[in-house]
Amino acid sequence: AAAAAVLPLALSACGGEDGGNTNADGTWEPNGPIEITAPAGTGGGWDTLARTSARLLESEGLVDQSIQVVNKPGAGGAIGWAYIAGNEGDPQKLFVTSPPILLVPMAGDSEYDHEDFTPIARLATDYIVYLVPADSELETFDDLVETVDEGDANIGGGSAPGSMDHVALAGAIDAAGGNAAAASYVPFDGGGEAMTALLGGHVDAAVVGVSEAAGMLEAGELRALAVSSPEPVEAIADVPTLLDQDVDFTFDIWRGVMAPSGLDEAQVTYYEDLFADLLETQAWQEESASLGWTDAYQNSADFGAFLDEKRSEFTEILTEVGLQ
């Protein structure tokens, strides 16, 4: 009888079909490698967040298990989301996320939206930069708008048509008094590809996240006409905001972590606490500052409510600039 009573507790402590260990006190922890999916290719904002988080979680000793980053590019993120959706209930698979998780489904280009996944935590806010080649004749954002109105600008972005970078471009052009519909938007699979196309002369300008562009801006390979933040960003302090140029528009790229559906409360709590601890480390503070990120932590419940709110806001923006 004693052995029979101990058996359920032993099985619980050792873990089971949930892919982790459930302890006697009801807490949970993974018992194997954690996988973080970036739903795009290397070099973009999703990839940067996934790899930065994984590296620092390990180097700061916050996890006992290894963390693997996998890239699932394609369809503006939809390929990666389908992969995660196919792993319902697996608490050792995470993915990084940002506005396209709302915008791509709204455009009808993904059968999955944010409600099909488990919000874990919002981590940071990034902003958009409007880039041109270092030797471009364009000096201000108004110069770019004038070129767009003349029908002479192909502008690359790291997200699908009607998604994050496209909305940030169209909204800014509209606020500057230009014709957003005249902008020839060229989608790429991530900001890294968009900047490569810009360097190669395949597009005239590009719209990407600050964290994606910081390295090339510092190296002088590209030049930023404006940033979409309400105030200058420390990592690119010499780049004027749109507001500085009398363009009444801001756009923030919130970045966070989600998981498949079907996680229980203990599993969600483990990851909420894990990422909260990460944001408190000096290593994260230093690296996020160099990438132009601003910490904006929200737990699972708050992040879920935030996503619902942002979907409503995006509906208004898309209607206003004629993208919906």
Domain boundary at 252, 269, 287, which?
A: 252
* Biggest CA pair distance of the chain: 84
Between CA 161 and CA 185 the distance in angstroms is 7
| pLDDT tier at 205, thresholds 50, 70, 90 | very high
What is the mean predicted confidence (pLDDT) over 6-34? Answer: 68
pLDDT at 14 over 70: no
What is the mean predicted confidence (pLDDT) over 281-307? Answer: 95
Tens of pLDDT, residues 144-163: 999 999 998 999 998 888 88
Q: Bridge-partner residues for 126, per DSSP?
A: 253
CA torsion angle for 161, 321, 133, 48 (degrees, to 10)?
Answer: -50
If asked whether residues 114 and 171 sit together in one domain, one would say no
Q: What is this structure's pTM?
A: 0.83
Range of the domain at 220: 127-252
Residue carrying structure tokens 């590209």: 222
Between CA 165 and CA 253 the distance in angstroms is 9
If asked whether residues 197 and 303 sit together in one domain, one would say no
Percent of the chain with pLDDT over 70: 94
317, 180 Cβ separation under 8 angstroms: no
Q: What is the CATH number of the domain that holds 306?
A: 3.40.190.150
Identify which has the larger pLDDT, 317 or 24: 24
Between CA 38 and CA 189 the distance in angstroms is 12
What is the mean predicted confidence (pLDDT) over 51-80? Answer: 96
Closest among 114, 57, 134 to 258, alpha carbons compared: 114
Would you list the DSSP string of 149-167?
HTT--EEEESS-TTSHHHH
Q: What is the CATH number of the domain that holds 137?
A: 3.40.190.10
If asked whether residues 83 and 93 sit together in one domain, one would say yes
